[in-house]
Structure 1
Amino acid sequence: MAEHHLPPEPVDHHHHKGGKRGVHADDLSPAGGYGWWRGRPRYSYYYGGGGGPLRALCFAILVLLLAAGITLLVLYVVYRPSHPTFAVTSGAVLALYNATPATANAPAALAASFQFTLVLRNPSGRSAARYDRLAAYVAYRGEPVTAPAPMPPLAQDAGAAVEVAPVLGAGVAAPVPVAPGTAAAMATDVAYGVLPLLVVLLGRVRFVSGPFHRGWHSLYARCDLLLAVRKIGNAGDAAQQAPLLGEPNCNVDM
């Protein structure tokens, strides 16, 4: 019997073995539609130049702000004032005596009057200083022994020092009430010839740096010192010089 052969099946150009679909040039051509990315979304990008002037304006403003900040920082560093310094260079006792009345149970009181040379120095090289509402007093063992003495306003150039010698206690000392043991403690210290005192200066200060005028700042200056005193006298006794022992410890707070 003669064998009959069927004609070969047409080759499917769109599939490989195993049923996988191949990629052909027609699929990649414009005529082939989407090609191998058929079914995937197409993306388009737009590079516009409409924001250029706005970005340039923002950049210019940022540069101006940065330059202004740097300028202010440089001016602050150059003209920044330093705290003034305070010193006591000499002292004298004009009056110092126990003013407690002889009556029983009377409050203790001290009558004291001093004259100190006070030096205020402005260490700032570019800032002048102005002082106002100044007052000074003397304290012993934490208690004032003189009433606050007002002082006139002071003006001070950059890097300059101002020296004043106020009388603290009004010359003719007015009795100041103190704690019961304070008068006895002062008599003991004077008997040893060394009297520890605190000189306090209060007020306010402002600095002027060229065109810049700063606001007022509270000033609190104090000096702890040791005074060489010979005796506690009586009313009407002559003043006595009182040398400073050692270097006074002075501080300024603002």
Structure 2
Amino acid sequence: MEENQSTQNQQHHLPPDKLQMNKPAPYGTSSSKRAFCTFLTIFLLLIGVTLLVLWLVYRPHKPHFTVVGVAVYGLNTTSPPLLSATLQFNVRIKNPNRRVSVYYDRFSAFVSYKNQAITPQVMLPPLFLEKHSQVSLSPVLGGTAVPVSVEVSNGLMVDEAYGVVGLKLVFLGRLRWKAGAIKTAHYGFNGKCDVLIGLKKGYVGQVPLLGNPPCNIDI
């Protein structure tokens, strides 16, 4: 009994702030925190699911580039190795997206042979492709002599004598996607179109395409 009375007397003599620290936290405070955490978790999950659905619906697919025709108006080498080429390519560009349009804001092209440029890089006009649409381009590239290696000069003469020449049409540029009123930032892209043409030395005009797989587009 004396010990209990002593303990009670000590508690009576404690400062008011320490008495309140010994009291358990109100039940309402813990419940409010738990409810807020639950609400925040559900809200973040809903945002994540919504963004995932939007991405699956509107995610853009790469454009399709296909070379469907080539004309050669000049392909001559001189010594020291200089190559003067004038070529025209008929290219079909398709936007496969049904919900997304494409802006080609910067767009250029050149031709290479054995991984060396044989025409200067030419700027092409900007393009805008509506959803699920396509357009045809017929750029004329070259017209100015460019220095080339002996390997390129000799290889071209051998290929023309054989009647089959492999060329690569290269596209460089920057594009943006447009979904509704939203436009994305610019993305750099490059396209490489390998074409195999039937060409004999001195021939001028439309040449047969012996192989033209779809162009490889990297974004």
- What is the aligned-residue RMSD (CA, Å)? 1.8
Tell me what 1:244 maps to. Answer: 209
Tell me what 2:85 maps to. Answer: 112
Contact conserved, 1:136 with 1:199, CA < 8 A, in 2?
yes
Tell me what 2:152 maps to. Answer: 182
- After the TM superposition, which segments of 4 or more aligned residues of structure 1 sit over 2 Å from their partners? 45-50, 246-249
Distance in 2 of aligned mates of 1:46 and 1:249: 70
Tell me what 1:194 maps to. Answer: 164
Matched, 1:152 2:125: yes
Higher strand share: 2
Distance in 2 of aligned mates of 1:250 and 1:167: 18
Higher helix share: 2
Contact conserved, 1:207 with 1:214, CA < 8 A, in 2?
yes
Give % identity.
37
- Kindly name which structure, 1 or 2, has the bigger radius of gyration based on alpha carbons: 1
* Counterpart mapping for 1:81-230 below 5 A: 81-100=60-79, 107-169=80-142, 173-230=143-200
Deviation, structure 1 residue 195 = 0.8
Deviation, structure 1 residue 249 = 4.7
Deviation, structure 1 residue 47 = 8.9
TM-aligned CA distance change 1:64 to 1:225, over 3 Å: same
TM-aligned CA distance change 1:86 to 1:215, over 3 Å: same
TM-aligned CA distance change 1:48 to 1:248, over 3 Å: closer
* Counterpart mapping for 1:29-108 below 5 A: 48-100=27-79, 107-108=80-81
What SS does the corresponding residue of 1:174 show, helix, strand or coil?
coil
**Aligned letter for 1:87?**
T
Deviation, structure 1 residue 85 = 1.4
Deviation, structure 1 residue 232 = 3.5
TM-score by length of 2: 0.84
TM-aligned CA distance change 1:249 to 1:127, over 3 Å: closer
Deviation, structure 1 residue 49 = 4.1
TM-score by length of 1: 0.73
What SS does the corresponding residue of 2:176 show, helix, strand or coil?
strand
Contact conserved, 1:135 with 1:201, CA < 8 A, in 2?
yes
**Aligned letter for 2:185?**
G
Deviation, structure 1 residue 210 = 1.4
Contact conserved, 2:105 with 2:126, CA < 8 A, in 1?
yes
Q: Which runs of 5+ in 1 are unaligned?
A: 1-44, 101-106, 234-238
TM-aligned CA distance change 1:179 to 1:50, over 3 Å: closer
